[in-house]
Structure 1
């Protein structure tokens, strides 16, 4: 009998928790009605024979930001997204090893753009 009461209480708790979280609106970084934008930039010079050309990657990051924001200057493009008093964290995924995951040249390109006047 006690086990049956425990199971009933557990089921009721789970149903309550499910209803509580289901009622919450999903998080979105965009304003209602605003659509996400994806910009694809490509340059075959960025990786040749598994060697990364850091300057080509930095240029690719810059071009992507200019296209995404519609700005003409890289510094202005980054300031449109990140303010000078913001704290920026860059998530680096290194578990896959040297040939996959976040490339150091991409992080360097992002940092370079953030530091542009």
Structure 2
């Protein structure tokens, strides 16, 4: 059975879904004092062509490549508060996942916090 190269996998097109969790404080009904941080993430996703489908879940409107979806998470990664681990419940990226339809997801939490890009699973 042939396997895809990394470049072939990164060029995979589909209705990619990004779901995230900004941590306990940001998950209140009004997002409390962290509403600005929530809006920063939402703005990045919407400007990149993702549309809100559920609370903290966005799907690309028209389809995009896996590389494009990872690059969008890279923009979130550059937010100054994203790398924290929040001992005092300050906003941080608790988790961020990339998936396509009902298939295996790609956990990009560590990448968003400044770590390396994980291995690309077989989708």
TM-score of the pair, normalised by structure 1:
0.33
Which protein has the larger Cα radius of gyration, Structure 1 or Structure 2? 1
TM-score of the pair, normalised by structure 2:
0.32
Structure with greater helix percent: 1
